[in-house]
Structures are given as structure tokens and as C-alpha cells.
Amino acid sequence: MNGYDRRDRNVTAGIIAGVIGGLVGTWAMSEFQGMWSRVIDGEEPQSAGGRHDARDWQEKVEGQNANELAANEVAEHTINRPLTREELEVAAPAMHYAFGAAMGALYGGLYEASRNVRAMGGTGWGMAVWAGADGIAMPLLNLSRPKTEYPLETHAQSYAAHIVFGVTTEVVRRGVRALWSDRRSRS
């Protein structure tokens, strides 16, 4: 597929490239969310992390977001108390970026090993993360309401943001892998 043969595959390099792609993809997703909220709603959400934790669609409907809820869950189990608003300013985005990096790492590693993942590309990966994380995991973990309780515009916003995540993750992953391969071929 596009000259990507078995000799070029390296799962470790894919994971590293995926982490970098996932971090940049998370940033792009957050920026996209902020733009969507400014254009459609006329303002950004009032979460502790601002647009850096990218759960605008959830905040609009529920008045809270999964990144803050998850950060507080971790705090309750590690420091035995909820986080202050100032602590959430750092912790909520950190949760979002950590999840994005993990999803990027998974994508990068799978990209190296699976023809099916290579075929789905970044758009497919963004759709998979949207379905798996927002559609299934978040409601099961009580980090959001079931998606059946959200209006259509909320689904569109969430879906589009995850496509931005997936495409950006792939573009950056591909660039990092090309640099890795180019550097190795010169040594």
C-alpha cells in the first residue's frame, strides 16, 4: 500500500509516531472545538481547561465534561480529594491529551501491523475513536450521559471533532514515520 512493504514496518516507530500524531491531533481537535463553539454558540465553554480539553458538546448538554470528571476520579483515588478549579485547569486537559496520545500510540502500532488499519486511515480511526470512546466507553464509565440524550447538532460537533483528530493524527504520524525511515536509510 503506497510502497509501504513489510521491510518498512516497525511497530515501535509506529507507536512513537502515533503518540506524536495523537498529541497534535488532540490539539487540533481542541482548536476545532473552540472554533465550532465560537461560531455556532457565540462563546467557548466555561470548563476549567477551556478549549484545551475539547468536550464542548458535552458541556453544552450536561454542564460538565468527561475530562474533569475523570481527573477528579483519579484524584479521589490518589490524593483522596477532588481537585480545585485551578488544579482542574491542568488536570482536565492532561487527561484529554493523555487519552489522545494513547489513541495515537494504538493507531500508530496497529498501522504498522494491520492492513485493515492502514486501509481505514485517519478518517476511519477518528470515527472508531468517536464510536468507541464517546459512544460506548464514556457512558459506561459514567463520564457522560448516553448518546441518545444528545441533540443532533451535538452529535455532529463531536463526530466532526473526532474526524479532525483522526486525520491530523494520521498526517503527523505519516510525517514522523517518513522522517524515521529517511533517517534510517541514510545511516
In a domain? residue 171: yes
Residue type, 185: S
In a domain? residue 17: yes
Rounded Cα–Cα distance for residues 15 and 135 (Å): 25
Work out the pLDDT band at 7, boundaries 50, 70, 90.
low
Quote the cell numbers at residue 135.
Answer: 459512544
In a domain? residue 162: yes
Q: How many domains are there within the chain?
A: 1
In a domain? residue 2: no
Domain range spanning residue 70?
A: 7-186
The counts of H helices and E strands in the chain are 7, 0
pTM: 0.88
In a domain? residue 178: yes
CB-CB contact of 51 with 34 (8 Å): yes
The DSSP 8-state label assigned to residue 64 in this structure reads: S
Give tens-digit pLDDT for 94-142.
Answer: 999 999 999 999 999 999 999 999 999 999 999 999 999 988 999 999 9
Work out the pLDDT band at 1, boundaries 50, 70, 90.
very low
Give tens-digit pLDDT for 65-76.
Answer: 888 899 999 999
- Output the CA torsion 155→160→161→166 (10° steps): 130
In a domain? residue 78: yes
In a domain? residue 1: no
Give tens-digit pLDDT for 132-155.
Answer: 998 899 999 999 888 888 888 888
Work out the pLDDT band at 59, boundaries 50, 70, 90.
confident
* Residue 47 pLDDT greater than 70, yes or no: no
Rounded Cα–Cα distance for residues 73 and 70 (Å): 5
Q: Which residues contact 56 (CB under 8 A, 6 or more apart)?
A: 33, 34, 36, 37, 41, 44, 45, 157
